[in-house]
Structure 1
Amino acid sequence: MSSFSSDQSDRSRGGDHDQQKKMIKYKGVRCRKWGKWVSEIRVPGTQDRLWLGSYTTPQAAAVAHDIASYCLRGPSSLNNLNFPLTTLPASVRTNMSPRSIQKAASDAGMAVDAQFAINHQSPSPNHEYNTLHGIGPNWDTSGHDQQLIRQGDALNISVEDYL
């Protein structure tokens, strides 16, 4: 089981490359020199690697690796994951195609990155106004045309968007 302290998560977003080397190392995850975290996994019984995506946080890349590991290796992989899986997404099975595994892993990793972004965003200067007028935290009212745009919809992306 891996744990990750808040001071380590602050350093995971850019920062000094030497500090990143001292961080917890997750299976199937590496850091690009420009600070993005990427994940890939070897397909059992072959020399092939399955690309799982590029993420903002190492935890997101590790979750993507865990999902792909379970899909490729089944329940026997549960003891070798970066994070213990308490529940699997409903779409995850052990008999999935490589493309379906990529999508499931990417969706899980991007969900972790999105949650990280939501938890670490600073309150907007209009927070009090929005709260008083019943506008939720996920609504952007800065447009000149007064259209409301739900910010959460922008986070709904998948690896299929890039294929």
Structure 2
Amino acid sequence: MNHSAMLTQRPASATDLHEVVGFVLTPEELFFCYPKAAWPLTVGQLAAASAERRNSTVALLEGRPAGFANFYQWQHGDFCALGNLMIAPWARGQGVAHYLIAVMERQAREQFKAGRMAVSCFNANAAGLLLYGKLGYRPQAIVERRDPQGRRVALVQLEKTLV
């Protein structure tokens, strides 16, 4: 179902962060979207990340915050790296992630003159890997990381050319 008519976006505000921290339901989800954060996600942790990052953006579904993302790396004229992608549990499966990623791709092109966008996704995040593949992101590298329990995991680094 196409919900694009009901989806809008705007820069994230400090008050949005109180709602956004509730998007993350489990320690595993937090590891997927913000590996350096400690469970449970707090407004302070998200505010600190937002202060170091660029273009923290909220997607609104029918006026209600439904998604959040930002850039954790950016190189003007080259690339932006998508980070902290979180979708509200009530809004999952309604096109919010597709919409928000498209918004971030547009911001990367227009504000940073980026020719490509990078994303990283852990091997256990099948939904994320399938989403990025569907949106045209292609694997570039697989690097070893450790999960919060110290287990070896694979971080799949993907990239898409922005046109």
Tell me if both proteins adopt one fold, taking TM over 0.5 as the criterion: no
Query: Which structure would you say has the larger Rg?
Result: 1
The structure with the largest strand share of the pair is: 2
Q: TM-score, normalised by structure 2?
A: 0.27
The answer to which structure, 1 or 2, has the higher relative contact order (CA under 8 A, 6+ apart) is 2
